[in-house]
Structure 1
Amino acid sequence: MKLNSSRSLLTLAAVAMLAGCSMIPTYERPAAPVAAQWPGLNATATNEATVPATELAWQDFIGDASLRELIRLALANNRDLRVAVLNIEQVRATYQIRRADQFPTLNLAATGSRQPKTDGSGAISSAYTAGLAMASWEIDFFGRVASLKESALAQYLASEEARKAAQISLIAAVANAWLSLQTNDELLALTQRTLATRDDSLRLTKLRLDNGAASALDVRQAESLTAQARATLAQQRRLRALDVNALTLLVGQPLPDALLTSAASATVPDAVVRRAGPPQASTDPAGGSAVHAVTSVGATFREVPAGLPSDLLQRRPDIRQAEQQLIAANASIGAARAAFFPRISLTASAGSASNELAGLFKDGSWGWTLAPQALLPVFDAGRNQANLGSARVGRDIAVAQYEKAIQTAFREVADALAGRATLGEQLQAQQVQTDAEADRFRLADLRYRNGVASYLELLDAQRSLFGTQQAVAQTRLAYLQNQVVLYKALGGGAPPPSP
């Protein structure tokens, strides 16, 4: 190797480095393809003076101690969340590999060879070397390695956002499963009381038949209604078992019995209760108040403001994850562009060389070698161009995925806001209906006992009351779960992004 050519090559490389030949396109965040306001929500409602969801820790959002403990156990033991954390470690290692590619790798190397001389003397020639060696270090003048490192860094940051999104989803899933379990417990108790009442009614009807005060048709109708309640009871037991199984999977360990029940009082907002009016004192067929049958279960949740759609870009981890993946795809274009330029690598070694093994490391045996190499693509059958085209298409795909993530988040928040605006009204209307049906049943029972009404009228009132009580419980479950969904949709449940 000639010294002058080496200097010329290094000078050219230095000039290229100083020129800052970055091949990565300038990143610009795509415009959010959604409206500036939530549908049906005025500007004053989006600027409420309350804590944003991302600044409200899940421990503060959830008021029930049993539910908080279940979520704590899930965060410690859920396997899906554990996989998300391990994925971060794996992607972090990939990033560290790409970062290490920017620096030379030094190795201790020792070689030895023996071969016959070509002069026909039959003698054996020997050569031994030992020292430090640097094999083919790419000098990143055109930013190929740096682009790959930037892409790996963005992928690492995306994996961290994926873990946050997984944590949010886990918190919401545990809360919703727990609410479903509590509601099914309440419905199970309601069905048991209803079945007991219908059993008593069936025995009374048979007694009236024996005394000539009822017909066989009345008995059959009572038997049918009792069998219906018994079937509903079996269904509620099955649904409760499924809820427990789902919650066990989410928590990742057997559930303590103490955490499956809640001592929390009803959590229907005061405004909803005021609209509904005071509870009626009417008695249901199970011997309790109609209001009590559907309001003894629940968990308190703090209200969270909707904010503006643009806030989701900073709040939602899944949107930030999609943006990091877009940044990674953008950086991959830089690596594909750099492939069109010369790839300069350097191989070097320094150490001792001798014709005899015993002569290594003696005075006069030390030396070094330096071998730079530059490869400029001339003909590759369109490979580099195809790689660049693939990288550009990959960025376009990432843009579409980023925009879809924003649109999905917008729809989830809008749906939750629609639920918050209507489920309360639906619940209070159904509660009024339940109170009316309870009073109707009481009056029908009095009329039947006094011989004024038919048994069919009494059975219809009893069936209607049971149906409305179930509907109130289901609507109340939807109301509470909607609060959880809104908190999740607004990005609550994970720490805010670092500045």
Structure 2
Amino acid sequence: MTKPGFETPTPAPAQTHGGRAAPRAALLAAMLAVGLLSACSLAPTYQRPEAPVAAAFPGNGSGSGASAANNGAAAVDTGWRDYFADERLLQLIAAALEHNRDLRTAALRIEEARAAYNVQSADRLPSVNANLADTKSKTPAFLAQGGQQSIGKRYDAGLAISSFELDFFGRVKSLNDAALAQYLASDEARQAAQISLVAEVAKAYYTERAYAEQYALAQQSYEARRRTYGLTQQRAEVGASSRLDLRSNETLMETARVAALTLARQRAQAENALTLLVGQPPAGPASGAMAGDAAIDAMSALPAGLPSDLLARRPDIRAAEQRLKAANANIGAARAAFFPRVSLTAALGSSSPSLGGLFDAGSGSWSFAPQLLLPIFDGGRNRANLTLSEVRKNLAVADYEKTIQSAFREVADALAARDYLGEQVAAQRAVRLAQADRLALLQLRFDNGVASSLDVLDAQRELFGAEQSLVQARLLRTTGAIDLYRTLGGGLK
């Protein structure tokens, strides 16, 4: 019985010369063919888990669920160059796809997984090495026959296969399948990162444009209130306005100044965030405007489809499934560890006591050393490895289901935003128009001595707030359309 954890030492392989080499070579080729072709897999038959979500997206409008409009292309078939119309945004996205460091890291992860897969798949083929050896040895006189010391020389040349595992029970095949699935998962993760980067650049760009528009409104308001404050100050000096009116105008003016400075800071920070996403300073000064209603309507026209479509559209879901397949394959490798492991070491070459006679007739040599390793006692290591691989598969199933649920929630949120934000923008635009008309009427009443200056100041403040809220609502609608494109698995080109 072998000692636990140790293999039985293999005796030195027999060597022979001459006519028996051909049958041995044929036997070696036959065993290699059996090892390469007869591998079975002990991994469980893979079955995709049922999607733990409803059969349709929730919603109360025609733009959600399975009844989504059929006009417009699916998001997965719509490239970002066709989805976005702003030329500067397209340039920023192209630069980000080239220079963004997170995306570069994801690409390197693919190279890492590909290399790991190539390393693992190499184990399915024997490693053949050529060798040329020169051996000299000295035998002392008291050990040598005849009582005289001797010096021996030997030259060897040939080809050798070292410890090639004949994969009868699919251990190597299962490890190879797991490595392939990990590689495919890395590729899907890169695609998911690319789609997310496109969406994040678009949102950062429109956020910066929204701050720029709000800043321009704040500057205009500040200039108008500064002029009004100057006039009020002149009227106060001649007694035509009270000190209360003067301080109220000053408060309103400084409030607009604070808002302008706050928006200037937020815009600068948004530009920094955009620079980080792009991976380099954007070329040229910031320009462009927020997407108009027509552009947003066109972007939001993508049909939602069914939740089951996400399994084919979303690369993050496909990546989670590949990780599940890898965990499933690892169970096969863990099961195969309970069975005997057959390995083969063989060599074919020539040996001679002199270098010149190395390839003479009759100098051929071969060695053939199959080895069988049968696990008897391992302290429960194989059982623990199998349990570990099964637990990891259950974790992969939970991760796969959670990824589907998260994707379902993201699409549902984007559909809800599409259903309601359009109406919210329209309502906010009506508020702004009403506030502008109210200010005009109060200004007319103030000029005629009917309304007080405090009423006018209050109307100016509320109009400024309505203008800022309208810009923010338009930004929310724009980012909602971008999120819809991303959550539906938007195109990569």
TM-score normalised by length of structure 1: 0.88
* Alpha-carbon contact 2:36-2:166 (below 8 Å) kept: no
How big is the shift at 1:19? 6.8
Q: Is the CA contact (8 Å cut-off) linking 2:209 and 2:289 kept in structure 1?
A: no
The counterpart of 2:370, out of the listed 372, 380, 390, is 372
SS at match of 2:293: coil
Alignment-derived partner of residue 277 in structure 1: none
Q: Which residue of 1 aligns with 2:256?
A: 229
Structure 1 pair 437–422 and aligned structure 2 pair: CA distance change class (3 A): same
Which AA in structure 2 matches 1:456?
A: L
Pairing 1:108–2:130 present: yes
Residue pair 2:38, 2:168 contacting (<8 A) in 1 also: no
| Shift in alpha-carbon separation, 1:166–1:25, aligned structure 2, 3 A | same
| Stretches of structure 1 lacking an aligned partner (at least 5 in a row) | 271-297
CA 251–300 in structure 1, closer or farther in 2 if over 3 Å, else same: farther
Which residue does 1:26 correspond to in 2?
Answer: 45
- Whole-Å separation in 1 of the counterparts to 2:350 and 2:38: 38
Give the aligned partner of residue 425 of structure 1: 423
Task: State how 1:36-435 maps to structure 2 within 5 Å.
Answer: 36-41=55-60, 45-46=67-68, 48-117=70-139, 118-119=143-144, 121-257=148-284, 260-262=286-288, 267-269=292-294, 301=299, 303-435=301-433
Residue 121 of structure 1, CA deviation: 3.0
| Paired AA for residue 149 in structure 2 | G
How far does residue 483 in structure 1 lie from its aligned partner after superposition?
0.1
Change in 2 beyond 3 A, CA 1:9/1:50? same
Instruction: Using the TM superposition, give the Cα deviation of residue 254 of structure 1 relative to its aligned residue in structure 2, in angstroms.
Output: 1.6
Q: 1:133 to 1:7 in 2, by over 3 A?
A: closer
Distance 1:382 1:9 in 2: 35
Q: Would the aligned equivalents of 1:267 and 1:300 in 2 still touch at CA under 8 Å?
A: no
For 1:101, what is the secondary structure of its paired residue?
helix
Question: What is the alpha-carbon distance in structure 1 between the residues aligned to residue 299 and residue 113 of structure 2?
Answer: 36
Tell me by how many angstroms 1:44 deviates. Answer: 5.7
Q: C-alpha displacement at 1:212, in angstroms?
A: 1.3
Q: Bigger CA drift: 90-99 or 126-135?
A: 126-135
Distance 1:210 1:299, change over 3 A: farther
Match in the other structure for 2:9: none
Superposed CA offset, 1:237-285 (max 9, x none)? 1111111111111111221225x31267x52149xxxxxxxxxxxxxxx
Shift of 1:361: 2.5
Deviation at 1:128, TM superposition (A): 2.6
What is the CA–CA distance in structure 1 between the aligned matches of 2:39 and 2:472, rounded to whole Å? 63
Aligned residue identity for 1:235 = T
> How large is the RMSD of aligned CA atoms in angstroms?
2.5
The alpha carbon displacement at 1:353 in A equals 1.1
* 1:5, distance to aligned residue in structure 2 (A): 12
Residues 8 and 360 (structure 1 numbering): CA distance in 2 closer, same or farther, change over 3 Å? Answer: closer
Please state whether the residue corresponding to 1:257 is helix, strand or coil: coil
**Counterpart-to-counterpart distance in 1, 2:73 and 2:399:** 30
| Superposition deviation, residue 12 in structure 1 | 9.3
The alpha-carbon deviation at position 441 of structure 1 amounts to 1.0
**Structure 2: how far apart are the matches of 1:6 and 1:341?**
27
In the alignment, the residues of structure 2 paired with residue 348 and residue 193 of structure 1 have an alpha-carbon distance, to the nearest angstrom, of 87
Change (3 A) 1:13 1:365: closer
| Percent of aligned pairs with the same amino acid | 50
Runs of 4 or more, structure 1, over 6 Å off, are: 2-19
TM-score, normalised relative to structure 2:
0.89
Q: What one-letter code is carried by the residue in structure 2 that aligns with 1:316?
A: R
Q: In 2, distance between residues paired with 1:318 and 1:459?
A: 53
Structure 1, 18-27 or 243-252: larger mean CA deviation: 18-27
Bigger Cα displacement from structure 2, 484-493 vs 39-48: 39-48
How far, CA to CA, are the matches of 1:302 and 1:468 in structure 2? 25
**Is the Cα–Cα contact under 8 Å of residues 17 and 142 in structure 1 kept in the other structure?**
no
Shift of 1:125: 2.7
Q: Deviations over 1:33-86 (max 9, x none)?
A: 000011125656335243111011111111111111111111111111111111
Asked if structure 2 preserves the Cα contact closer than 8 Å seen for 1:64 and 1:300, the reply is no
**Preserved contact between residue 129 and residue 161 of structure 2 (Cα < 8 Å):** yes
Moved more, 48-57 or 156-165: 48-57
- The residue identity in structure 2 corresponding to 1:26 is T
Instruction: Give, as a single letter, the amino acid of the residue that structure 2 aligns with 1:348.
Output: A
After TM superposition, the structure 1 stretch with the greater mean CA deviation from structure 2, 313-322 or 129-138, is 129-138
Sort the Cα spacing of 1:402 and 1:157 in 2 relative to 1 into closer, same or farther, 3 A: same
Question: Structure 1, residues 328-359: CA drift from partner, whole Å, max 9, x if none?
Answer: 00000011111111111111111121233443
